[in-house]
Amino acid sequence: MNNTRRLIRQTLTVARRDFIATVITPTFLIFLLAPIIMISLSMVGGFGARSAVGAGQDKQRLVVIAPAAQTASLVSVDTQLRSLFRPGDDGRPPALRIDVPQADPAAQARALFTAEDVDVAAVLYGPLERPQILYTPRQFFGGNYLAQLAEQTLRAERAGGGITTPLSQPVKTAIARGQSSFTGRGQVAFFGVFGLFFLTLMLAGQSVGTMAEEKSNKVIEILAAAVPLESVFLGKLVGMFGVAVLFVAFWATLLLNLLRVVPADFARAFSDMSPAIGSPAYPILFFAYFAMSYMLQGAVFLSVGSQAATQREIQMLALPITIFQVAMFGFASAGAASPGTWVALAAEIFPFSSPLAMIGHAANSPSLWPHLVALVWQLLWVAITITVGARMFRRGVLKSGSPKFSLRTLFAR
């Protein structure tokens, strides 16, 4: 046998072992089907994101406060102007509502911005020749649309062909919204869920290989003899969480400082984004849910990773872990897109999607008590996951326990 043939044969021998060692594992099946699962879950996530934004858009309104006599002509012109936009076009103006003027139209217009049933984007009141237009900073376009509506309505009423000077001279005023808008809340919900998912995806997955160090250098035997395995698991999780917090603190500081130099126009685009629960509570809850999400998912990955016998198995676990995280994100964002539905409730109750879903809940609802309940619930599941993980480790890796496996023995001391 010449050297080349020997080299090929040796190479194939190594390749054969690696191929078989990789393929004949349960995790390979998940790896194999990963693209289908990933696409499905991405669609769920994408649909959730779109729903979160779309749900808010359906609630948006442009309001004209005008006498009943002008209603027909306003509606007619609005219909003509809307024909310029394709149905479903993202730039299409919100639906028009015409209100009859009350004693103080200015106060009536301002009050509309605190309405709870709709998101009022812009309001026009006063005579069409000199209308007053109020708009939220993000709805500059809505204000312009109402100005054009007034101009075209006047032209239609006067049937003035050949008029070249503007008939309407609007006065536009940007107004701060009295409370968060549906759209803003939907966006906060989505960005909150996505932010939490993104951080957990980046950071919690690292816990999968943390027990590998102790297993490979045999320190686990010393740890297991000195402290309960539950403490080992929790200690590793808390240690890794400390690393994650440091990471988040670094980037949060950097981003907050970057925001100071963001152009005003760019900042205005996010001015509507205000969580229902309020600003001081939301960041606190975000951190609390980040901690819970990290701990819950980290505990699962740590437990699963601690069962892996080799570095190869740990690498193979990376994909199922990502899939699991994307699944939780898809579930939670679908819940955040439709608050109050059974999907939202299920996502809030299911322990591993609960932190993600609850940060969406905080954006959509001002109640504080559900968060206290949720945090206790999630903490309970962190404890359960760690306990089960530690017992599986004791049984499977430290070889403790009776030969016959059962759930009863798993939970028995």
Query: Which residues are at the interface with another protein (CB under 8 A)?
Result: 213-214, 217-228, 394, 398-403
In a 13 Å sphere around the CA of 357, the CA atoms on its Cβ side amount to 28
Using alpha carbons, select from 320, 301, 305, 319 the residue that is nearest to residue 214: 305
Q: How far is the CB of 220 from another protein (least distance, A)?
A: 7
Q: How far is the CB of 401 from another protein (least distance, A)?
A: 7
Q: How far is the CB of 301 from another protein (least distance, A)?
A: 21
Q: What angle do CA 63, 67, 69 make, to 5 degrees?
A: 120
Q: How far is the CB of 219 from another protein (least distance, A)?
A: 4
CB 317 within 8 A of CB 27: yes
Alpha helix stretches (DSSP H) within 227-351: 229-259, 264-268, 281-307, 311-337, 342-349
Q: How far is the CB of 26 from another protein (least distance, A)?
A: 21
Question: Residue 83: helix, strand or coil by DSSP?
Answer: coil
- Measured torsion, CA atoms of residues 250, 253, 371, 382, in degrees rounded to the nearest 10: 0
Q: Alpha-carbon distance 102 to 351, whole Å?
A: 51
Identity of the amino acid at 131: P
Q: How far is the CB of 55 from another protein (least distance, A)?
A: 51
Residue among 99 and 214 whose Cβ is closer to another protein: 214
Residue among 30 and 397 whose Cβ is closer to another protein: 397
Q: How far is the CB of 402 from another protein (least distance, A)?
A: 5
Residue among 18 and 213 whose Cβ is closer to another protein: 213
Residue among 1 and 225 whose Cβ is closer to another protein: 225
Start-to-end Cα distance in the chain: 60
CB 311 within 8 A of CB 212: yes
Residue among 225 and 255 whose Cβ is closer to another protein: 225
Burial 231-246 (b: 16+ CB within 10 A, else e): ebbbebbeebbeebbe
Residue among 129 and 213 whose Cβ is closer to another protein: 213
Residue among 227 and 380 whose Cβ is closer to another protein: 227
Residue among 399 and 408 whose Cβ is closer to another protein: 399
- Ramachandran sector of residue 195 (left: φ over 0; alpha: ψ -120 to 50; beta: rest): alpha
From the CB of residue 115, how many other CB atoms can be counted at a distance below 10 Å? 15
How many whole angstroms from its chain centre is CA 411? 35
Q: How far is the CB of 244 from another protein (least distance, A)?
A: 21
